[in-house]
Amino acid sequence: MKIIVQFSDNETVLLNATPEETLFDAAKRQGLRWPIDCAEGVCGSCKCQIISGTVDHGFYTDEALTQEEITAGYALGCQTRAKSDLIVSLRMPLARLRRAAPPMLSAHIVRLDTVAKDTVHLVLQLNQPIEFLPGQYAKLKVPGSNDWRAYSFTNIPNHDQVGMLIRLLPSGQMSDYLRRAQVGEVLELTGPHGIFFMRDYSSPAVMIAGGTGLGPMLSMLQTLAADDRASAMQSARLLYGVNDAAEIACLDILEAVKKKLPGFSWTISVANASAQYRQGFATDLLDDFTAADVASTTFYLCGPPPMIDAGRAKLKNLGVSEEKIIYEKFIASQ
């Protein structure tokens, strides 16, 4: 079967695939690094859109691929097999997919600060600078195991220090390690990974963050604040939701961004009752938006899967098209 893959930079690649191969397998065999994470149909990182042709979707969870997305033509590259010739669209520039696999790096902890309830900001010194797009993430190896965990970068790219905003879960492997970790300890990481990154510097952006889903937004916002192109951006708005007011983190970084980016504003919602903040979920803040507000706006959503699903449903009701909704689900480790 012939598979034409179209990319966001208007490039096209022709692949051939056997009936047994997934789209990812066929791409890999022919030197194309299809974006992938779990390889098991549960994370959605490998999603593409089938423009024409028929496929077998294979295994997938609702978290990774909803029925609505299937109806709209979406499929998971790591699971999908072609049943006919296909035209497939990947919302990534081809240039990125021709690069070598992300390197394995060594890092040591230079800071591990508690910045809110059950939330730490981990800062790592790398053995070499890492090039990433604001919004992408690294995988950290849990010390003493062969397990890896994904954490989004919070800082501006291309530094030899990287930050991560991490929620400490009860009895989580990495969470338990971080509760006892000390400055100077060495960690292994790979990166960058992921397709959640700032797409457009000129049109308005609305970022919806749940809990530590704020992390990648901090990277995007600080990058915007340091970028001349951001002056063309009409506005950047952050809708930030937490369960409890004590979980609100990194307001100092938001204040610093605001000083450099006058069009930036943020609103906080707290699920539990709070005297100071609006009660509800981050996605409830979308109830204030009208169809006129969302025209030409790109939406970035990051956080727990139910928040992303609720946000996408609301945006769809407001008439926002799928291409304008960029999201990443913080799915628990597989």
Ligand X SMILES: Cc1cc2nc3c(=O)[nH]c(=O)nc-3n(C[C@H](O)[C@H](O)[C@H](O)COP(=O)(O)OP(=O)(O)OC[C@H]3O[C@@H](n4cnc5c(N)ncnc54)[C@H](O)[C@@H]3O)c2cc1C
Site residues (vs ligand X, CB under 6 A): 43, 137, 149-152, 164-167, 169-175, 194, 212, 215, 328, 330-333
Closest CB to ligand X among 170 and 184? 170
Rounded CA separation 111/125 (Å): 9
Going from the C-alpha of 208 to that of each of 98, 232, 324, 326, the distances in angstroms are 31, 21, 13, 10
Name the residue number minimizing CB distance to ligand X: 172
Rounded CA separation 127/160 (Å): 7
CB of 197 to ligand X, least distance (A): 12
Size of the site for ligand FES (CB under 6 A): 13
CB of 180 to ligand X, least distance (A): 13
Binding-site string for ligand FES from residue 23 to residue 62, where x marks contact by CB under 6 A and - marks none:
-------------xxxx-xxxxxx----------------
Instruction: Say which DSSP state 230 is in.
Output: G
Are the C-beta atoms of 48 and 69 separated by less than 8 Å?
no
36 contact choice in ligand FES, ligand X, none (CB below 5 to 8 Å, kind-dependent): ligand FES
Closest CB to ligand X among 55 and 116? 116
CB of 60 to ligand FES, least distance (A): 7
41 contact choice in ligand X, ligand FES, none (CB below 5 to 8 Å, kind-dependent): ligand FES
Closest CB to ligand FES among 50 and 285? 50
Q: Based on the shown chain and the rule CB under 6 A, indicate whether residue 155 belongs to the binding site for ligand FES.
A: no
Owner of token pair 């991490």: 166
64 contact choice in ligand X, ligand FES, none (CB below 5 to 8 Å, kind-dependent): ligand FES
Going from the C-alpha of 309 to that of each of 134, 224, 264, the distances in angstroms are 22, 26, 25
Q: CB neighbours of 315 closer than 8 A, spacing ≥ 6?
A: 286, 294, 299, 324, 325
Rounded CA separation 105/57 (Å): 34
Phi–psi pair at 128, nearest 5 degrees? -160, 150
Binding-site string for ligand FES from residue 57 to residue 86, where x marks contact by CB under 6 A and - marks none:
-------x-----------x-x--------
Closest CB to ligand FES among 41 and 157? 41
Going from the C-alpha of 317 to that of each of 23, 142, 288, the distances in angstroms are 32, 41, 13
The token pair that represents 84 in the structure block: 């006919």
CB of 61 to ligand FES, least distance (A): 8
Contacting residues toward ligand FES, per CB under 6 A:
36-39, 41-46, 64, 76, 78
